[in-house]
Amino acid sequence: MSILALIAQQGELKSSALEAVSVANQIAQKADMQLIAVYIGPPLADQLKRLEGFGIEKIVVFESEAVTYYQNDICVPILQKLVTEFDIKVIIGSATSIGKEVCASIAAKLDAELIQDCIEVDWDDGLQAKKPIFAGKIISDISFTNMPAIISVRPNILPVIRNREGAPEIIKREMPHVPHAKSIKNIVREAKSGVELTEAKVIVAGGRGIGGPENWPVLQELCDVMGAALGASRSAVDAGWIHHTHQIGQTGKVVSPDLYIACGISGAIQHQAGMRNSKVVVAINKDPGAEIFSSCDYGIVGDLFEVVPLLTKEMRKLLS
């Protein structure tokens, strides 16, 4: 019996992949199963070294320059075969956009249950997971009663823990050729200087209080100083001030940074659905009655155009 960790492929190993492997390691130890990992994607080269310390016994590697993006028609048959070959009982992936698609596909093929976006995973005579529902307003604690059991782990919540000796055995295999119905034309990496929202340790977010797209530089400067990612409320997105990829909330991204600085955001429940898991929340708003002040750690009542530049200046001093 073994556990299979899915290593997400984005040209480089993301911390979300290492977090999923850490969870898999912890479950493998508790359940006394061997840990197998699979990687499907462009050559990883020396990045494979970063997968040491997690107690992975074997990494099955399918490398090809042609597969830069998860293609379910290629990956799913590979995973299906591995499940039989290694007697896989548990599959653990990352709840990234691609990771969730892989997990859903393989779950269907195995007729297995799947819980996406887990924030806690444990083993007690079977796999257990905690998952936010209703946009994070409720946490559900669920047990699998059947195997194989599949979960994806929400990025940026669980720690990366290397606590085992030894390096995994690397098994390189030929990428199978599949004539696919969905062909990937190209991948565009957004040429943005910024940090990815879902992996960011600090997020500075702006709402309608920003007043217009011409004012983003006020927040961007603070982002640059703090190495933060720029987020936005839906009102700012719907007003056309910024692209939807920046939206945080129920119909945007769910983020969990160490520090979330909300500027000119009222704190609607749908916005909170996206940032509730932030470790520390700072609110800057000129309305002392704004809802955000009842769910933040530190609040400054004031005009963001006065507060943010001052904060940028202080942070620059502190960090230089």
Q: Which of residues 237-256 bind ligand FAD (CB under 6 A)?
A: 247-252
The residue within the footprint of ligand FAD, chosen from 127, 264, 299, 312 (CB under 6 A), is 264
Among 58, 100, 286, 316, binds ligand FAD (CB under 6 A): 286
256 binds, options other proteins, ligand FAD, none, Cβ within 5 to 8 A by partner type:
none
Is 318 a residue that touches other proteins (CB under 8 A)?
Answer: yes
Tokens coding 241: 């001030």
Binder among 270, 295, 315, 316 for ligand FAD (CB under 6 A): 270
Q: In terms of CB distance, is 171 or 310 closer to other proteins? A: 310
Question: Per rule CB under 8 A, is residue 89 in the interface with other proteins?
Answer: no
- 228: number of Cβ within 10 Å: 25
Provide the token pair at 308.
Answer: 């943010």
Cα angle: 88, vertex 94, 96; to 5 degrees: 140
Residue 291, H or E segment: none
Out of ligand FAD, other proteins, none, what residue 259 binds, judged by CB under 5 to 8 A for its kind, is other proteins
For other proteins, the binding residues in 96-155 under the rule CB under 8 A are 96-98, 100-101, 103-105, 107-109, 111-117, 128, 131-146, 149
When binding is defined by CB under 6 A, the residue of 209, 242, 254, 281 that contacts ligand FAD is 209
Residue 122, C-beta contacts closer than 8 angstroms, at least 6 positions apart: 27, 30, 128, 129
Q: How many residues bind other proteins (CB under 8 A)?
A: 100
Answer whether 93's CB lies under 8 Å from 152's CB.
yes
Which 3 state secondary structure label does DSSP give 96? Answer: coil
Residue bearing tokens 């750690």: 297
Nearest-angstrom CA–CA distance, 248 and 235: 11
- Binding to other proteins by residue 302, rule CB under 8 A? yes
How far apart, in whole angstroms, are the C-alpha atoms of residue 312 and residue 165? Answer: 44
Stretch that binds ligand FAD, among 48-56, 72-80, 182-190, 205-213 (CB under 6 A): 205-213
Q: Which of 218, 277, 205, 213 is nearest to 246 (CA)?
A: 205
Binding site for ligand FAD (CB under 6 A): 207-209, 233-236, 247-252, 264-266, 268, 270-271, 274, 284-287, 290, 303-305
